[in-house]
Structure 1
Amino acid sequence: MDLARATRLSKALARARFIALGGFHPEPEDRVPPCGSTLRPTRTLLLIGSAGSALFDAFSASPEASDGKPDPLDRYTARLLRDIADEFGFTPVFPFDGPPWHPFQAWAMRAGSFSPSPVGVLCHATFGPWAAFRAAFLSPERFGTFEANGAPGPCPSCEGKPCIAACPADALSLEAGYDVPRCREHLKANRDATCHTGCLARRACPIGREFAQTERHAGFHMKAFCG
């Protein structure tokens, strides 16, 4: 991919409120599928995501947001990113495709700049815990140098781990990780809790605070999480 095409791709993603979160050249152990119906080996994977609430704001004005059908954000994401992938000759795969499910967190760690966090999501060196994985673009063409490959994310060097102390449900610990049932029970037992408009532990992360989700955006996901 030459510079002009890479610039066009970046602009197309930005117009749709997506970002490229890195990439890598797959090895067999990465479990990257082949490219579409041609079954050509994937030689480059680009991780596509979003950060902050710009994508959610755009989605809120879309037909999917108001049609009453299941998984509106996933369907909106797939519609836009399939169009971009088609334009640039990529095969898109999505985290919500499956089973079998694609190992997006492992791909993100491979791309670099991410680390596992006590909150359960991966934390990015720039976007903190607010980077979301929306798709991967697969190409049979090998391109890019991807200098961030293998670079650690911010959590191992974080002093104090403020996210753990900020959780009112005591659902986080370094030893046991994220206790999902305990978190969900706290939310269901406390319908007026501030957590319903955004995870307090996540908001306590000092990295990427300018990309924190709005209360409306976070509430959309918390409602889905609580069922």
Structure 2
Amino acid sequence: MAEIGAALACAGFRLVGEFSPEPGDAVPDIAAGIPTAGLMLVGSLSNELFPHFTGSPEARDGAPDPLDRHTRRVLAPIAKAAGMTPVFVFDGPPYHPFQRWALRVGGVSPSPMGLLAHETFGPWLALRAAFLTGGPVAAVSRGGPCPSCRDTPCISACPAGALGPGGYDVPRCLAHLEATPDAACHSGCLARHACPVGSAFAQGPQEGAFHMRSFFAGAV
């Protein structure tokens, strides 16, 4: 794990954790007839990944999905060097249940924003890939930060009123973004920035604007 974690860190990614799959986890086989015995979850923080991504050929070629293509190009060789099989969050449809896998890894909880919140990184950890291995690994069972958060500042910080007891109202969020092109939301989700957990890892304006543009373009 230490060697894989070091290789990931050099490329701007993080090893989130690991677990040994059970039948209900919907983890694919490593290859036909070869079951997966261990899964390592890979994520990223925008402020660590973007210095690598912005200088990449994918960021400059004008083709669709530059961050996804960069992620695949960089992570596939790291997995191969470790003798593992990579699967990616953007593979699909059908898509792999990455949020379910993150809950199995531990240290995360569902948030009102529709994102998972991490015990250290709050809502700023993005899931990118999983490395599948034939050997079992150890899992750590622990919860995330949201169940203990009573003030829920993320809900009141959303200017679109898109967060509430019913969850995240995506159409309402998109309508607000479309109607207010100069709103601060276009440089990063205000609800995410209001989360008291992981504020030291919050996206900067450049990273936030990139992700908001990608979100808006992919949803309209």
Task: Name the SS for the 1:164 alignment partner.
Answer: helix
What do the CA deviations read for 1:164-194 (whole angstroms, capped 9, x no partner)?
Answer: 0100001101x21100000000000000000
Matched, 1:156 2:150: no
* Distance of 2:51 and 2:146 partners within structure 1: 29
Please list every run of at least 4 consecutive aligned residues from structure 1 whose deviation after the TM superposition is greater than 3 angstroms: none
Task: Name the SS for the 1:50 alignment partner.
Answer: strand
Matched, 1:83 2:73: no
Matched, 1:28 2:19: no
Shift of 1:120: 1.2
User: After the TM superposition, which residues 1-227 of structure 1 pair with which residues of structure 2 at under 5 Å, given as runs?
Assistant: 6-36=1-31, 38-143=32-137, 145-147=138-140, 149=141, 151-173=142-164, 175-227=165-217
Q: Which amino acid is 1:138 matched to?
A: L
The answer as to whether partners of 2:46 and 2:207 remain within 8 angstroms in 1 is no
* Distance of 1:63 and 1:39 partners within structure 2: 36
Task: Name the SS for the 2:147 alignment partner.
Answer: helix
What do the CA deviations read for 1:186-227 (whole angstroms, capped 9, x no partner)?
Answer: 000000000000000000000000110111111011111111
Identity %: 55
* Distance of 2:46 and 2:89 partners within structure 1: 18
Shift of 1:39: 3.6
TM-score, structure 2 length as denominator? Answer: 0.96
What is the aligned-residue RMSD (CA, Å)? Answer: 1.0
Query: How many aligned positions are there?
Result: 217
* Distance of 2:195 and 2:51 partners within structure 1: 23
What do the CA deviations read for 1:131-190 (whole angstroms, capped 9, x no partner)?
Answer: 0001000001113x232x2x11100101210000100001101x2110000000000000
1:3 alignment counterpart: none
The answer as to whether partners of 2:153 and 2:194 remain within 8 angstroms in 1 is yes
CA distance 1:204–1:119, shift in 2 (3 Å): same
* Distance of 1:70 and 1:165 partners within structure 2: 34
* Distance of 1:220 and 1:19 partners within structure 2: 20
TM-score, structure 1 length as denominator? Answer: 0.93
